Structure 1
Amino acid sequence: MTTLRAAAAASTSHVPLLRRIGASAPAMRSRAAGSPNYRDGQFRSHEPTHWVAAPEGEDLGHPAVAAYRSRGRGRPVGAIPVVRPEWPEVAAELAVTWLGHATSLVELDGHRFLLDPVFGERVSPSGRVGPRRLHPSPCRVADLPPLDAVLISHDHYDHLDEPTITELERTLRPRYVVPIGVDLHLECWGVPPERITTLDWRDTTTIGDVVLTCTEARHFSGRGFVRNQTLWAGWAMRGPAHSVFFAGDSGPTHRFEDIGRDLGPFDLTLIPVGAYSDHWPDIHLDPAQAVRAHLDVNRGDATASVLLPVHWATFNLAMHWWSEPMRWARRAAAEHAVPLLAPRPGTRVPLGDDAAGAVTTAAVDPWWESCAAAEDHD
């Protein structure tokens, strides 16, 4: 794994900053103008979304001061165990491989979908500074199996990675399904428009016999100094026999209930549980809110679906302890009888009646305890 990390760092450290940033603001504004979700010069969530806020009546201090005081909390003290994934020749009816942070490979009714692929060393416009991986990627882009499509939720660096897109184009040249405006970033990096499908909230496209629906989220976007010129989204994936929901990045929103009513329930949900803070309560879900979102998109049925918590462990992006998201998520899931997966990065988990052993192992193995700081425990 050290070799993978060294190779990634060497191949991405000299990429020009402007190339990493992607499309220009004027081009994105022109692309966004026709969407009903683009108002007063920017995309907007259905609820007000404040990037930095504090609960009413609370004085949390400046986020920069809080970040300084909590420095080091978001890092493990031991090596994070990763597994080199192995995929079958033919995609399963339902399986998932979490590769770290939000990056996941979903097998759905014989199709393969790669979600928010980030294989680079840093989530930053620079290859030399910015949040760096806390564990190596479990595999290289070149190790991935054939893909039916790459789905991207939004354009933040920890979800849309220029070096990864460049490598995907060099190797697999997949089809991409993205929210409005993200297509312009991809085109800047050499992806031909004919391999990009661009959708607004509640637009759909079909790949094989799987229907993909772009769903609402409460978040924001931007890779440079201009925000909210591209859309952010989640993805509902429904095949003939199974269905999956990927929430992307989102704060708490009543739209999860709408998604459940219109598109749910789902056999599997992938919902972010990390990088939350009282300083930005509208931007990311905390683990309890993630469990609530899982229930909402499944119409309140705790037994309808398995929850895979994502968006934790790989990058230090907030002020909570490193393993806190998973420990909290397990408590919240148990309280509501929600089946929860907690695989080591790179572990492929087959799902369904014939995969109970794999699901049980991925649910009960507390692998993070051995690499968490002593203070990072209940």
Structure 2
Amino acid sequence: MPYRHLIPVSREPLSLLSVERAISELRRGRAVAVTGGDGQGALMMAAEAATAERLVELTVRAGGAARVALTARRASVLGLLPAALRIVVVTPPAPLSLETVRAIADPLAALPVAAAEECTITEVEPHALEAAALQLTKTARLLPAAVIADIAGADAEDLAAWAMRHDLLAVDAGDVFQYLATTARALKRVAEARVPLAGAEDALIAAFRPLDGGFEHYVIKLGDPQVDAPVLTRVHSACFTGDLLGSLRCDCGDQLRGAITAITEAGGGLILYLAQEGRGIGLVNKLRAYALQDQGFDTLDANEQLGFEADERVYLPAAQMLRAIGVTRVRLMTNNPDKVAALTRLGITVTERVPHTFPTNRHNEHYIRTKLARGGHLD
């Protein structure tokens, strides 16, 4: 079934704006206040932006001791607990140091994690403030780890007023959790033009943008697809290195160009180009994953070393764009059964999975084998 409205449509612009501003603050290295429906609040910043001075400032402003929130994937890598889809809080016995933050959050920091063995490890509920803080770091395409401290003090009863006095942005945890669904629902077509492509001169590109002005997604229409029949469709996640630079580490560029050729030869179809670089972790984190792969980790383990799931993509934007152009049935070009299942859950009928494979090279052979053996991909 298509996803339901999670917040009132009238509140969407404010909800999107508050989260987008919080993301911008985190990427600039600033702290933001995260508030819950129970009147609680916490001050948080992205772990990768932490400095010794910022740690001191965060704890002084909040009035409580700082701790580190991270995914259980990352905690499992550190040997702190078995892997699970939960949020973990690491609380040190003494004031949190920059070295401890970096050791816990960044597998490329090459720092010992011995200090973490003396820390208290706590699992929190999936809708806790710590979970919202982590979701913000992921949405900001930063490392999935946050430094967080509860806001305490007699002057913090009104959290919005407290944040304003301290020149801080405040964001509601509920808005954070609903952000991805809200941005997808708020996608609007903002531009389209004919763009002749090599091997596909009859091509039209339409850009869809959420209300908050965030990342655009694109529909590339090739030829003359008939929307009253299942449309040959490729859902393609953006890959700067593969699509634009011709990287040999993945097969993304081959898949994109191959889809253009195959759809054109079939008489018409669609490519949905989603702004979800690196399976949803962003280009910078993908480069970090590549560095870990150079150390011997495969593509899935590298993502989990960073604290991400093996695949962080969501397909809400794809389903929304298909419905916006009147397409509800597709013949999906993919080797990934998860894409078929995701679109089906979102109300798009997948009448056929069309295999989409290409020859490997010595740089991506291990990557392709890993997707087949561990990622559930099909030949």
- On whether the aligned pair clears a TM of 0.5, the verdict is no
| Higher relative contact order (CA closer than 8 Å, sequence separation 6+) | 1
State the TM-score, normalizing by the size of structure 2.
0.25
> Whose helix proportion is higher, 1 or 2?
2
Pair member with larger Rg: 2
Q: TM-score, normalised by structure 1?
A: 0.25
